[in-house]
A and B are shown apart, each in its own frame.
Chain A
Amino acid sequence: MGLFSRRSVGPLGPLGAEDRQDPAISGNGRFLASVLEQGGKAMVVLQGQPGGQTVALRHLRGHEPHSSPSLSWNGRYIAALVQQGPERVAILEDRATGKLLRLPLPNGSQPARLSLAPDGQRIAIEVTEGGQSRVQLFDLTGQLEPDLPGGLAVQGGPSAP
Chain B
Amino acid sequence: MRAPSPVNRISHKLGLACSIAASAGLLSGCMGAMPTPMAALNRQLAMAGTNRAPSLSGRWLAVITGRGGRDQVLLLDVAGNAPVPVPGLNRGDAQPISVGVDASGERLALVRQLEGRTELVVYRRSLMSLQPIPMQPAGVPSQVTMRADGKELAVQVSREGLWQIDLIALP
Contacts and interface: CB of A to CB of B under 8 A. Distances in A.
A73 B170 CA distance: 18
Interface residues of B, number: 58
Which of B21, B57, B58, B142: most chain A CB closer than 10 A? Answer: B57
A152 interface: no
Contacts of B57: 117-118
A149 B57 CA distance: 13
Interface in B136-157: 136, 142-143, 145, 147-149, 151-152, 154-156
A1 B168 CA distance: 12
A136 B27 contact: no
Contacts, number: 180
Interface of A: 1, 3-9, 17-29, 32, 34, 37, 49, 58-59, 63, 73, 82, 84, 89, 91, 94, 98-104, 112-119, 122-126, 132-140, 142-143, 149
Interface string B42-56: 100110001111111
Interface of B: 10, 14, 17-18, 21, 26-31, 33-38, 41-42, 45-46, 50-58, 61, 63, 78, 103, 133-134, 136, 142-143, 145, 147-149, 151-152, 154-156, 162-171
Contacts of B14: 102, 104
A9 B54 contact: no
A25 B35 contact: no
A133 B35 contact: no
A44 B148 CA distance: 20
Given A29-B152, A117-B57, A136-B37, A7 B166 contact: yes
